[in-house]
Amino acid sequence: MAAPYKTAAFFDVDRTLVWPHSMERMFIPFLIRRRYLRASDLARFLGFMARNLGTAQTGLLHANKCHFKDKDPNELERLAAECFNMRIKPRVSPAGREAVREHHRQGHLVILITGSLKPLAEQIRQELKADLAMATRLEVTGGTLSGALANRRPYGPEKARLVQELAQTHNLDLSQSYAYGDHHSDVALLRLVGNPRAVNPNLGLRTAAHKYGWPILKF
């Protein structure tokens, strides 16, 4: 007999569960202050952006993590935990926490899906006791970071594609599932589930929420 379908709750993180800034907006300055990222690393990143900005290579720009090239992945994880506890944990939304708890009470799978780096996403996953964190993973080669991605970045329409694949491998019923997002880039994901929720929406998502009749929440 096939296993029963499961209901899931997908949560975007930045400006949905963590407010008001994205996690990486807090993390990158933290890494600079801790001298994990140096001026030469930032110059390499800015040079790449300058050479490619204005092109159609949007995916390439999002995938560029060359400022992390040759860095220690273990040190990055340690600093992610430190930054989370000092800067990010106090900014986790109380209403967001309660929404996660309610889904747990109902026996739903709670899945975080974010373009933020995996070490940060794992910190908030542990804090909220979520079942899974889908996030941006950095490639490790020979024990150091290569400056490339190890997976498809969960951002925009890619979120919806990744969730569709996860639904097949984890036997999820998306028609009964929930999704929470704050940005118009989350529309594809929200349209994929039976219970979409626009949280602290920007103008683009607010317009879509009115168009499709989605609930608008304030976390």
Mean pLDDT of all residues in 45-67: 69
CA-CA distance, 17 to 5, in Å (whole number)?
Answer: 26
Q: What is the pLDDT of residue 195?
A: 98
The answer to whether residue 193 scores a pLDDT higher than 90 is yes
Q: Which residues pair with 196 in a beta bridge?
A: 179
What does the pLDDT average to over 10-29? 93
Domain ranges of the chain: 8-217
* Beta pairing, strands 144-149 & 216-217: unpaired
Which has the higher per-residue pLDDT, 2 or 136?
136
Instruction: Give the model confidence (pLDDT) of 57-114 as tens digits.
Output: 555 555 679 999 999 999 999 999 999 999 999 999 999 999 999 999 999 999 999 9
What average pLDDT does range 19-41 have in this prediction? 93
Per-residue pLDDT tens over the stretch 117-147: 999 999 999 999 999 999 999 999 999 999 9
CA separation for the pair 168, 177 (Å, rounded): 14
CATH code at 8-217: 3.40.50.1000
Q: What is the pLDDT of residue 48?
A: 75
On whether the pTM is more than 0.75, the answer is: yes
Q: Is the pLDDT of residue 50 over 80?
A: no
Q: How many Å apart are CA 116 and CA 134, to the nearest integer?
A: 9
20 prior amide bond cis, ω within 30 = yes
